Amino acid sequence: MTAQEVTGDVLAVTGTALVAIAAIGLLRLPDAYNRANAVSKAASLGVVCVLLGVLVLMLTPFTAVILGLSVILQLLTTPFGAYAAARAAYRSGTPFIAATRREDSRAPAADDE
Amino acid sequence: MILIDILLGTLAATMAVVIWRLVTGPSDADRVLAVDLAFVTFVAGTALLSVRLREPSELILVLAATLVGFLATIAIAHLLERRPR
């Protein structure tokens, strides 16, 4: 195995492990806000690692353009998607778990744009 | 190639978890998050399948799924937010 293959495999394994950790978080964490935390952070870093690993494994100008554009788009759009999902959860009145400490006592959906 | 097969199996298990959360999610917000992770899993799986099949043109699907996944998450979150209760 060349150094290129080892680097690509390590990146692909790391990214897949992060996506799997996001799935474990989605399965095990207690409420929607905790799950949004797990999904947004672990999944965005994981998919970027997988795409960079695939780029190292198949390094041509075509794949560099496609995967580079995909990585940039993922990094730009995944946080905003998770933010929109969490905001929609809050505004639609999704219940918190009992252990949540809330600094503000506003009811959900009190600040309507 | 064995390694890529194992990674694809892991992503399949991830997708099973996503479908379970999509079906039994206590609230609709959990379903939005499940769709988000489903698109992430699809993007990663398509990229790894492109390596497995040695077919670089399949990476076009990665780019398309990235855009569709973002728009789908935003659209479903918007529907959830604007839904009359």
Q: Kindly list the domain boundaries of chain B, sorted by start residue.
A: 2-82
Give the per-residue pLDDT at A90.
85
Say what the ipTM of the complex is. 0.89
Percent of chain B with pLDDT over 90: 60
The answer to the question of residue A112 being in a domain is no
Instruction: Kindly state whether residue A45 falls inside one of the protein's structural domains.
Output: yes
Res B15 pLDDT > 80: yes
Q: Kindly state whether residue A107 falls inside one of the protein's structural domains.
A: no
Contact B58/A at CB under 8 A: no
* Mean pLDDT, residues B15-35: 89
Q: A63: domain range?
A: 3-91
The pLDDT assigned to A113 comes to 44
For an interface test with B, give the residue of A21, A87, A92, A113 to mutate (most B CBs within 10 A): A92
Residue A112: per-residue pLDDT: 47
Closest CA of chain A from B70, distance in Å? 6
Nearest residue, CB atoms, A62 vs list B10, B34, B56: B56
Report CB contact under 8 Å: A85, B10: no
CB-based contact A93 B85, cutoff 8 Å: yes
Are the C-beta atoms of A26 and A14 separated by less than 8 Å?
no
Give the CA count within 13 Å in the CB-facing half-sphere of B35. Answer: 18
Full-model pTM: 0.87
pLDDT at B44 over 50: yes
Q: Which of residues 2-21 of A touch B (CB under 8 A)?
A: 9, 12-13, 15-17, 19-20
Q: What is the distance between the terminal CA atoms of chain B, rounded to a whole angstrom?
A: 51
Q: What gap in Å lies between CA B55 and CA A63, rounded to an integer?
A: 10
Q: Which residue of B has its CA nearest to A76?
A: B70
Scanning the structure block, which residue is given the tokens 């995967």?
A67
Cβ atoms within 10 Å, residue A105: 6
Cβ–Cβ gap B33/A60 under 8 Å: no
Which pLDDT does position B64 carry in this prediction? 92
Residues in chain A with pLDDT < 50?
110-113
pLDDT score, position A104 = 62
Residues 6+ apart with CB under 8 A from B43: A47, A50, A51, A70, A74, B62, B65, B66, B69
Overall number of domains in chain A? 1
- Could you tell me the CA-to-CA distances from B81 to A96, A109, A113, B5, B33 in Å, in that order? 17, 9, 12, 39, 14
pLDDT for residue A7: 92
Residues A78-110 pLDDT 10s:
888 888 888 888 888 777 887 777 766 555 554
Instruction: List the structure tokens of B65.
Output: 């799924």
- B51 with A57: Cβ contact below 8 A: yes
**Cα–Cα distance, B71 to B68 (Å, whole number):** 5
- Indicate the residue type of B64: A
Mean pLDDT of B3-12: 93
Environment class of B55 (CB within 10 Å of its CB; exposed 0-12, middle 13-18, buried 19+): exposed
Tell whether B75 is within 8 A of chain A (Cβ): no
pLDDT for B20 equals 93
Mark yes or no for CB contact A70/B85 under 8 Å.
no
